[in-house]
Amino acid sequence: MRTPPDFIVCPRSDVLVIGAGAAGLSVALAAAPRTVRVLSLAEPARDGASTWAQGGIAAALGKQDSPALHAADTLAAGQYLNQPEAVARLTAAAASVIDWLQTLGAHFDRRDDVLLLGREAAHGQARIVHAHGDATGAEVMRALGAASRAAAHIELAPARCVIALAQDALARVIGAWAWNGQALELWPARAIVLASGGYAALYRYTTNPTASDGSGVALALAAGAQLADLEFVQFHPTALAPRDAVRSGQLPLLTEALRGAGATLIDAHGARFMLAEHALAELAPRDVVARAIAARRLADTQVYLDARVAVGAEFPQRFPTVFAACMQAGIDPRVQPIPVTPAAHYCMGGVRTDAQARSTLDGLYAVGEAAASGVHGANRLASNSLLEGLAFGRELGLTLAATLPQEGGVTQPCPRHFAPLPAPLRVALADMLWAQAGLARSEYGLALAAAQIGHWLEPMDATASGADLLRFAAAAVAAMRARRHSIGAHWRSDAQQAA
């Protein structure tokens, strides 16, 4: 393989995984005995959206439950824009995913040595497996991280920022270019798996870590891969509302399991308003609840999550993560209602993939939130996110263990240089997307957003890695303009949005 002399050429692997969350590590573990290298910004299980996940893993384990019932709830939450075949695969795999995690050493909440099954919004059955109350993601990542470090076929390479996919003259993806903080590295492989997460952190208010900004999906777009469903962004109804109008930042998530345990949503007068919004009240689908909360906040009415009766004194034991976040904010949820706001939480869109997780570019695969697998439709069902990353990641790893794509040709020169978006521009982009492409959208507002992104791009070096992120944001805005189906939001008239 030929490459410029000022690049470090790393050892070739069978599989190169970009991202060390639940999806990426599931691929890596299941691909044994293939040689796998995992590139990530941080050490596995130290940070990232998977580690932050409070909610559990949905699996039809109850006596009255079944994968078919789980699939029906998934389709309904997705407003029947899901791909039924993908949904059936996901729900059928759920029980084996739980078994697999337990063999890796994951510990889930039990009572009398039986798994506790909780219920969350839009689920017809109690089917949510949790760990330590509200720390499922951290426990899952602890187990996956430990197993990956112990696996002889896996090499973990943290502190790498991938800036471009490596391609040959036929546009086949045959590796990745990564910045290690000092030099550019070329990581060649026969199969490249994008497991870099979603783009919810592009928004002003988000429950995601900063790295979940779509940079991974932007790599695929820059390489020529097709994307899909970028307009479908899920806003979690209950993030901890900030005390003041901070410009941007990550807001602590208040897990849906609180509402599953009986917590209610009340307005400033103490009245439950979801009873009049939906038959399932607080357990309605996330988009319904988010719209109801957003409408009241737009009318300058504060909304609270009231768990004083449902949880009360048991808060520190049942929901330790949420309890700590509330206490840090000066709120004691045992005796006080918690102020809440919707926040960008999850993205259903990403790299278009088929049933084998293949993208439209030879050699490139995508799993987890980076992929548009079609499983979530327009709105993800609660606790199907970790499940998707684990189930489809493991499935892809097993496939690659059996069959790898043919090797590509000579690597083309790196098309990008490491130059992230300046911090002030990142903040401005987050503010604009929240205002124009978030909870309320209009043709007027999205046209403003598109024009502004174009204005920011004009003076930028087209080969700067940060420019790829702006071009991805432009693609997301274009998708929203093309299809008015918005999630956790509503389409406003141009006059309303302008006002």
146 and 122 within one domain: yes
Predicted confidence band of residue 488 (pLDDT cuts 50, 70, 90): very low
What CA–CA distance (Å, rounded) separates 197 from 362? Answer: 21
List all residues 6 or more positions away from 485 whose beta carbon is below 8 Å from its beta carbon.
Answer: 79, 81, 231, 232, 378
**In a shared domain, residues 161 and 288:** no
| Domain count of the fold of the chain | 3
Kindly report, residue by residue over 184-198, the tens digit of the pLDDT.
999 999 999 999 999
Let me know if 286 is a catalytic residue.
Answer: yes
Q: 409 lies in a domain?
A: no
Maximum alpha-carbon separation in the chain = 69
pLDDT of the residue at 355: 97
- Looking at 343, 373, 394, the residue that finishes a domain is 343
Which pLDDT belongs to residue 42?
87
Reported confidence tier of residue 3, pLDDT bands at 50, 70, 90: very low
Within this chain, do residues 81 and 178 fall inside the same structural domain, yes or no? yes
Q: Which of 142, 190, 286, 394 is catalytic?
A: 286
Give pLDDT, residue 249.
Answer: 72
Query: Is the predicted pLDDT of residue 2 greater than 50, yes or no?
Result: no
Does residue 150 belong to any structural domain of this protein? yes
Domain match, 87 and 218 both: yes
- What are the phi and psi torsion angles at 84 (to 5°)? -55, -35
- As a whole number, mean pLDDT of residues 401-427 equals 94
Whether residue 165 is found in the same domain as residue 264: no
Same domain, 55 and 188: yes
Among 14-28, 254-268, 430-444, 479-493, whose mean pLDDT is lowest? 479-493
User: Would residue 137 count as lying in a domain?
Assistant: yes
Q: Are 148 and 30 in contact (CB under 8 A)?
A: no
Query: What mean pLDDT do residues 445-452 have?
Result: 97
Q: Helices 385-402 & 84-103, crossing angle to 10 degrees? A: 90
* Domain match, 59 and 184 both: yes
Same domain, 62 and 75: yes
Q: Check residue 95 and give its pLDDT.
A: 98
Give which of 284, 489, 467, 478 is closest to 378, Cα–Cα.
Answer: 489
| Residue where a domain stops, chosen among 343, 373, 392 | 343
Please check whether residue 168 lies inside any domain of the structure. Answer: yes
Model confidence band, residue 440 (pLDDT cutoffs 50, 70, 90): confident
Inter-axis angle of helices 136-150 and 22-30, nearest 10: 30
Q: What is the pLDDT of residue 247?
A: 46
pLDDT tens for 86-114 read: 999 999 999 999 999 999 999 999 999 99
Q: What is the pLDDT of residues 196-240, one digit of tens each?
A: 999 999 999 999 999 999 999 999 999 999 999 999 999 999 999
Asked if the model's pLDDT at residue 489 lies above 90, the reply is no
Q: How far apart are CA 495 and CA 499, in angstroms?
A: 6
Residues with Cβ within 8 Å of residue 475, at least 6 apart in sequence? 221, 227, 230
Q: Has residue 498 got a pLDDT over 70?
A: no
Residue 35 has pLDDT above 70, yes or no: yes
* Average pLDDT estimate for 69-82: 96
418 inside domain: no
What mean pLDDT do residues 47-70 have? 94
Task: Name the amino acid, one letter, at 289.
Answer: V
Q: Within a domain: residue 416?
A: no
Residue 470 counted as domain residue: yes
Q: How far is CA 232 from CA 21, 78, 109, 284, in A?
A: 22, 10, 32, 18
Burial class (CB in 10 A: 0-12, 13-18, 19+), 318: buried
Structural domain boundaries enclosing 328: 236-343
pLDDT digits (tens, 9 = 90+) for 260-283: 899 999 999 999 999 999 999 999
What CATH number has the domain bearing residue 128?
Answer: 3.50.50.60
Q: Encode pLDDT of 449-467 as tens digits.
A: 999 999 999 999 999 999 9
Q: What is the DSSP string of 351-400?
A: EE--TT-B-SSTTEEE-GGGEE-SSSTTSPPTT-HHHHHHHHHHHHHHHH
> Quick check: pTM over 0.85?
yes
CB atoms under 10 Å from CB of 102, counted, come to 14
Burial call 416-443: b when 16+ CB within 10 Å, e when fewer: bebebbeeeebebbbebbbbbbbbbbbe
Q: Note whether 481 and 380 are same-domain residues.
A: no
